[in-house]
Amino acid sequence: MSSSMWQGQYDSLFIGGEWVAPSTDTKLTVVSPFTEQPIATIPMGVEADIDRAVTAARKAFDSGPWPRMSVTERADVLRRLSTEMAADERVMAELITAEMGTPILHSVPIQAQRARLVLDATIEMGLNYAFDEIREAPTGRALVHKRPAGVLGAIIPWNAPHLITLYKLAPALMTGCTAVVKSAPDAPLDQYLFAEMAVRAGLPAGVLNIVAGDRPASERLVAHPDVDVISFTGSTGVGKSIATVCAGLLRPVTLELGGKSAAVLLDDVDVESTVDTVLHGALRANSEVCTTKARVLLPRTIASEFVDALVSKVRALKVGDPMDPDVYLGPLVTAAHRGRVEGMISTAVDEGATLVTGGGRPKGLDTGWFVEPTVFTGVESWMNIAQEEVFGPVISVLEYDTDAEALAMANDSKYGLSGSVFSADPARATRFATRMETGMVEVNGSPAGLAAPFGGVKDSGLGHELGHEAFDEFVKINSIGIPRDLEWPAG
């Protein structure tokens, strides 16, 4: 199967386990960030389509088999879904590269393979999740019972559409919830392929419903009276608006929002062995990643040496056709987004940062929404480039003198999503990491893995995805007082 088979004209939405006609004739055109030409048209979902999708999910939850299956039975279905995902992994990666510009070099491991690994890890954790737990105390004996929360409204961003869909769906489905996925208008095609995978895997009708739409569709989903929990990934401003609506409804919500993560190099690091990891942490997937560590904090004693090594490698990166396996940086997702990134580069120059390399559009690439990989030095914490999320291939270098100053600079952000620390002494780096005001930190590039919770603090969000903590977002709890002599199976 080729990714080109998933490009063209679509005329239906996935609701209630079927491909159904949309409520209106409004179309959404998907444009290639590389060729700037249309590659597909799909229906633009509106409020009425969201209503139909929620109705299907509500019916599937209230009277369908999915919430009533054992966790083992649900795991069997989701393992079949994982098999389908593995079979079309390359197709999924190529499709996401075509619709939003991430180089295939990154789409395969990040967009496609990681999504399947998330599902596999979640299945295994779900089989060990304590849906029933006996708790003993002198004052009584309780059965703490966790049941599925109900209908999930999942709002997906464009930058990692398939991966983030699985971040939300995997734990929700394992607990027995049903879902309405509202996909992003800038990258909706992958959801069509995913829906076909779900059908082939035997997911019961109505458990998964998918509608591509814009803000009105999202607003309807967030406020719909038959939705039980909302999970949103996107900008902090929109996340705060969603939180306000959910607060008024006393509706649980998880928010994975913006970031301005710092990569902190302590003064004992080896430059040669560190620079590649720092570069990848800052520029992978076009830097259109919420956890990108593009705010690089360097001890003044090694700053010049490190910047020279970093700039040399940045200038050697291949920019171009994102389907080329040798290309490291592709085009940004839209012309408007490129304009925003270019505006932030211009502001950094105006504020006094030193442009060392990049800053413009690559020569010879007149078509496509490209920005050169860019490095600024002389950046101060107050500057816009150090405080606001760029979401493009721009690295900001800040210098410090002491560990205490480095920690203060790392924490000088309204965001707190991710970060990294580098040191020849991993214990020293880990101690530093425990004092960073952020949800996730990598020591010497070590990933936390899929068993650890993923989530931020401050303006980076509420709640968690991944890990056992993810299941807690999709359950309701009954504390049931029971007789001392009642035998009840745990699990």
* Active site residue ranges: 256, 290
- Using DSSP, state whether 114 is helix, strand or coil: helix
Q: How many C-beta atoms surround the C-beta of residue 243 within 10 A?
A: 19
CA–CA separation, 100 vs 33, rounded Å?
Answer: 6
How do strand 354-357 and strand 295-299 relate by DSSP bridges?
unpaired
Q: Are residues 182 and 84 in contact, defined by beta-carbon separation less than 8 angstroms?
A: no
User: Bridge-partner residues for 208, per DSSP?
Assistant: 179
Beta bridge partners of 475: 148
DSSP secondary structure letter of residue 45: B
Burial-class residue 224 by CB neighbours within 10 Å (0-12, 13-18, 19+): buried
- Rounded CA separation 88/1 (Å): 8
Amino acid at 137: A
Tell me which DSSP letter residue 299 carries.
Answer: E
- The values of phi and psi at residue 251, to 5°, are -105, 125
Secondary structure (3-state) at 208 = strand
